[in-house]
Amino acid sequence: MILVLGGTTEGRKAVRVLEEAGSLFYYSTKTGEQTVELHHGIPCNGAMDQKRMLLFCQDEGIRLLIDAAHPFASQLHATVAAVAAKLNLPVIRFDRIYPPRDPELTWIDDYSQLPSLKGTLLATTGVQSISRLKPFENEQLRIIFRILDRDSSRLLAEQQGADKSQICYYEIRADELDVLNQLKPDYILMKESGVTGGFDEKCKAARDLGIGVIVLRRPPLPDGFHIVNGEHGLRRCVEKLLPDFFPLHTGLTTGTCATAAAVAHAMFLLRKEKPAAVPVLLPDGETIHVDVAYGDGYAWVRKESGDDPDITNGMEIRAAVEKADRFAVVGGEGVGVITLPGFDFPPGSPAINKGPYQMIEENLRQFGVPLSVTISVPGGAEAAKKTFNPRLGIEGGISIIGVSGIIMPYSEEAFLQSIRKCLEIAQNSGTQRVVINSGAKSERFVRRCYPELPPHVFVEYGNYIGDTIRMASELGIKKLTLGIMMGKAVKLAAGNLDTHSRKTTMDKAFIVEMMKRAECPDDIIERVGQLTFAKELWTLIPPDYLHDFLDELTRCCHVHCDPLLPNGELTILLINEDGAIYGF
């Protein structure tokens, strides 16, 4: 059993991660005022001192602690460390992402270090800090306290001597520039609250208005905590420390492995360091640590695919780094070469997708010098024969791929159960419309069409379009929007209700039939045989004919989908690579 100490944004994220396991866990908050939807989590409220936490962990069989509390909750961090030491429990600290400390700001370690000020100071350091700051008030300094708009905070503010004229509140979706323009303080005092605390936005707004910024540094954490700063890192750490909690484990993409190997070899080349694990910045901004090893003139990572094993599982992903005039990533042994158009890079380029390419570049930026990276995969040429690469025109090896950097385990039953649960939540919320989409990218685009809808009515179907529509019908959902990109749309139009590449590929003959019905020119239709990806249809078909083709494509999709929602209304939105929407 896991005990999460939450009450924060990180607490919500921890719940989201742990709920995926379907295993029971406890979620503890000090006041119980945070609204969190729990299905497998058990809420427990009230402050825990060392004695209470110790007894709770013993009585409930706690095997892992996750400290997702506020970074300035020093007493709680110390309590967690003490309990963990007594019971020999591992602790994961779910920390925030912090921007680099700007030397132009005024940094202090304690309120006692507050410099002598004249004018108005806006304190955003929380209601508990009022008593610490009241002694600094005088004829030359007026302090305004910004607190949460709730009764418990107002009571605490009053008890600590703040009058109503000194109080202002945090407002949902308030623009920091507008707030500061209205209050017009001379200085703002804030905590080093990280990205989720809106630290950068507050700093920028203050500096744009010429307001002096004073920052209270976050306190150090106890030794021995396993520190993560994102959802992927949290899950992987739980999988490592409590292997039986998640029924299926995540893996690393070839892109992440290549990035880690490149970072490791750069550290050896430029710093003569050989760490056993290196930090890798993922595209979502979080950092994970990846185990690395070293060879003669390169570093390497053992590819792990978790419980979604593919042909690359267990292979060595190598990187050799050298100084250069400009940054470059090239392919070596076992990395395929692109021979057809339609990929992120032109024919002749190594099969290294844009995502991994940018991730390698971003992670090597820390070294401050241009570097050339050669990625190689021993045995990659032979392994590639068992993939779709030859069919896609990628020759001589595997591809270095990965959008998020993490491989989520594939379980059809678990994924379908997750879809149903999400649909149930959306339906029970009383929404008039549910929007299903293939993933984060398509969801981001489709949200623009429905800005009024809350996040929980957007449900990811992955590849299970038919099953998702059937479940929506079973739950009585009356208005359903399907957001879909071209690659899945042409498969769906041909009658493939599960669009996973393991089960179906693009049917060029059927695309030709649709183009003929849309009366596209013969010379354009003849070029379909040269397609590598369906997304190329957006530019292949001339604008004068594109509308009719998209009409036909959408019609074919409706033919197969509408019978699955007999008592509802289905809207189909086609999305291009730039986020333009057809059908809304």
**What is the residue-wise DSSP string for 501-566?**
TTT----HHHHHHHHHHTT--HHHHGGGGG-SSGGGHHHHS-HHHHHHHHHHHHHHHHHHHGGGST
Residue 170's closest CA among 151, 153, 146, 191? 146
Check whether 581 has a pLDDT greater than 80.
yes
pTM for the structure as a whole: 0.71
Instruction: Tell me which of 393 and 219 has the higher pLDDT.
Output: 219
Whether 231 and 261 have beta carbons less than 8 Å apart is answered as: no
Helix axes 254-271, 354-364, angle to 10 degrees: 20
The mean pLDDT value of the chain amounts to: 89
pLDDT of residue 208: 86
pLDDT of residue 410: 64
Quickly list DSSP for 420-466: HHHHHHHHHTT-S-EEEESSHHHHHHHGGG-TTS-GGGEEE-TTBHH
pLDDT of residue 172: 62
Extract long-range pairs of 167-171: CB within 8 Å, 24+ residues apart: 168/122, 168/144, 170/146
Show the domains of the chain with their CATH numbers: 2-97+222-241 (3.40.50.720), 106-216 (3.40.50.720), 251-407 (3.30.2110.10), 412-582 (no CATH)
Q: Which two tokens stand for residue 241?
A: 């420390």
Whether 252 and 403 have beta carbons less than 8 Å apart is answered as: no
Contacts (Cβ under 8 Å, ≥6 apart) of 159: none
pLDDT of residue 347: 87
What are the b/e assignments for 372-408, b being 16+ CB within 10 Å? ebbbbbebbbebbeebebeebbbebbbbbbbbbbbbb
pLDDT of residue 311: 84
pLDDT of residue 584: 64
Check whether 384 has a pLDDT greater than 80.
yes
Check whether 3 has a pLDDT greater than 90.
yes
Task: Please state the rounded mean pLDDT for residues 197-222.
Answer: 89
At 464, the pLDDT band (50, 70, 90 cuts) reads confident
Residue 40: strand, helix, or coil:
coil
Length of the chain: 584
342: left (phi over 0), alpha (psi -120 to 50) or beta: left
CB atoms near residue 476 (< 10 Å): 9
Residue 516's closest CA among 528, 505, 525, 527? 525
Whether 223 and 247 have beta carbons less than 8 Å apart is answered as: no
Residue 65's closest CA among 49, 50, 81? 81
**Rounded CA separation 549/541 (Å):** 8
pLDDT of residue 150: 83
Q: pLDDT tens digits, residue range 35-69?
A: 788 888 889 988 899 999 999 999 999 999 999 99
**Rounded CA separation 534/499 (Å):** 13
Check whether 414 has a pLDDT greater than 70.
no
Q: pLDDT tens digits, residue range 99-154?
A: 889 999 999 999 999 988 899 999 888 888 888 998 988 889 889 888 888 888 88
Longest dimension (CA), the chain: 84
Quickly list DSSP for 50-115: HHHHHHHHHHTT--EEEE-S-TT-HHHHHHHHHHHHHHT--EEEE----PPPPTTSEEESSGGGPP
pLDDT of residue 53: 93
Q: Which two tokens stand for residue 149?
A: 């708009």
In terms of C-beta density within 10 A (0-12 exposed, 13-18 middle, 19 or more buried), how is residue 106 classed? middle
Task: Please state the rounded mean pLDDT for residues 503-517.
Answer: 86
Q: pLDDT tens digits, residue range 268-308?
A: 999 999 999 999 999 888 999 999 999 999 999 999 988 87
Least confident of 217-226, 261-270, 351-360, 393-402: 393-402
Check whether 466 has a pLDDT greater than 60.
yes
Q: Which two tokens stand for residue 423?
A: 């649909």
Instruction: Tell me which of 426 and 332 has the higher pLDDT.
Output: 332
